[in-house]
Amino acid sequence: KLVSKKWKAKPTSVDLGDGVFIKDGEMAIITGPCSIESEEQIRKVVNHCVENGITIMRGGVFKPRTSPYAFRGMGIEGLQLWHSIAAPAGIKIVTEVMQPSQIEDMYPYVDVYQVGARNSQNFNLLDELGKVDKAVMIKRGISGTIEELLQSAEYVFAGGNEKLILCERGIRTYERASRNTLDLNAIPILKAKSHLPVIVDPSHGIGIRAYVPQMALAGVMAGADGIIYESHEVPEKAYSDGQQTLDFAQSARLAAWIREIFAKR
Ligand code: PEP
Ligand code: MN
């Protein structure tokens, strides 16, 4: 496989421009709300990132919701608004793309296309992202194996796009005490098998706000190249995933801890 270490031994460095990288040997910190909700909310999260030296922000404008009646995102206008605020502040944007027809519309405003867990094996979407010259982060499928995640990455890489990032976000198991089971095992295994950077999403991984920080730090110690977690000024009021979202004080503390632990790794 092209994404395997056997084919390419040197770790892949994903360059987002302006000195921002997601790569082996660095610790990317990516935070932001589950959903982009309003101009005011965007400004608050961008300020939070700037104040804490965080250069990559996450947020969904196309939301894959279990219920069709739940908030499904601000769409392309939300992304345009977000970009108009984030780009001048030097903040890179990670956001989910749900279908091939959105790729071109999103292109001017996105820095990393996120492939969500539910689309992890949408092979048409992966094929199309293989033709794009912007970074792609692929989340592990809800019940996806490590091998399946690598095969999904193979689709994009084989299409010609080598700016790829893998993301462990928890898998569905028999355990219902947590939203998902964050598979920390996947981190050293993916790092050993592939040259691609690996990041960890403790928010979706455990789904419980109070336990997100320790799972993030566990991810750092397991060898992750970055952590992506949800934050919001008032998590209780978030349109989606508030139960697993940190407030800004918790987020600032976590970012500092991540850096501290990474420096000692
Ligand atoms: C998200 O990042 O908000 C999201 C929907 O994640 P996942 O695809 O991992 O469920
Ligand atoms: Mn979410």
Q: How many Å lie between the centroid of ligand 1 and the Cα of residue 204? A: 7
Q: How many Å lie between the centroid of ligand 1 and the Cα of residue 193? A: 24
Q: What percent of the chain has pLDDT over 90?
A: 100
Give the model's pLDDT for residue 65.
97
List the domain boundaries for the chain. Answer: 27-264
Q: Which atom of ligand 1 is nearest to the CA of 140?
A: 9
Instruction: Compute the distance between CA of residue 6 and CA of residue 232 in angstroms, rounded to an integer.
Output: 41
Instruction: Compute the distance between CA of residue 241 and CA of residue 235 in angstroms, rounded to an integer.
Output: 8
**For the segment 161-179, what is each residue's pLDDT rounded down to a tens digit?**
999 999 999 999 999 999 9
Tell me the pLDDT band of 4, cut-offs 50, 70 and 90: very high
Q: First-to-last CA distance in the chain?
A: 29
Instruction: Compute the distance between CA of residue 168 and CA of residue 228 in angstroms, rounded to an integer.
Output: 10
Q: What percent of the chain has pLDDT over 70?
A: 100
Give the model's pLDDT for residue 130.
98
Any atom of ligand 1 within 6 Å of the Cβ of 191: no
- Report the sign of the C-alpha dihedral through residues 59, 204, 230, 167, in that order: negative
Give the model's pLDDT for residue 217.
98
Nearest ligand for residue 242 CA = 2
Q: Which atom of ligand 1 is nearest to the CA of 169?
A: 9
- With the most atoms of ligand 1 within 8 angstroms of its CB, the residue from 71, 139, 167, 183 to mutate is 139
Tell me the pLDDT band of 257, cut-offs 50, 70 and 90: very high
Instruction: Compute the distance between CA of residue 129 and CA of residue 44 in angstroms, rounded to an integer.
Output: 31
**Cα–Cα nearest to 216, from 165, 169, 180, 264:** 169
Give the model's pLDDT for residue 143.
98
Instruction: Compute the distance between CA of residue 148 and CA of residue 125 in angstroms, rounded to an integer.
Output: 15
For ligand 1, atom 9, name the residue with the nearest CA: 117
Q: How many Å lie between the centroid of ligand 2 and the Cα of residue 204? A: 6
**For the segment 19-64, what is each residue's pLDDT rounded down to a tens digit?**
999 999 999 999 999 999 999 999 999 999 999 999 999 999 999 9
Instruction: Compute the distance between CA of residue 190 and CA of residue 144 in angstroms, rounded to an integer.
Output: 13
Nearest ligand for residue 203 CA = 2
Q: With 0-12 CB in 10 A as exposed, 13-18 as middle and 19+ as buried, what is 232?
A: buried
Answer whether CATH 3.40.50.300 is correct for domain 27-264: no
Residues flanking ion ligand 2, Cβ below 5 Å: 34, 241
Any atom of ligand 1 within 6 Å of the Cβ of 195: no
**Amino acid at site 247:** D
As for the ipTM of the complex, it is 0.99
**For the segment 52-106, what is each residue's pLDDT rounded down to a tens digit?**
999 999 999 999 999 999 999 999 999 999 999 999 999 999 999 999 999 999 9
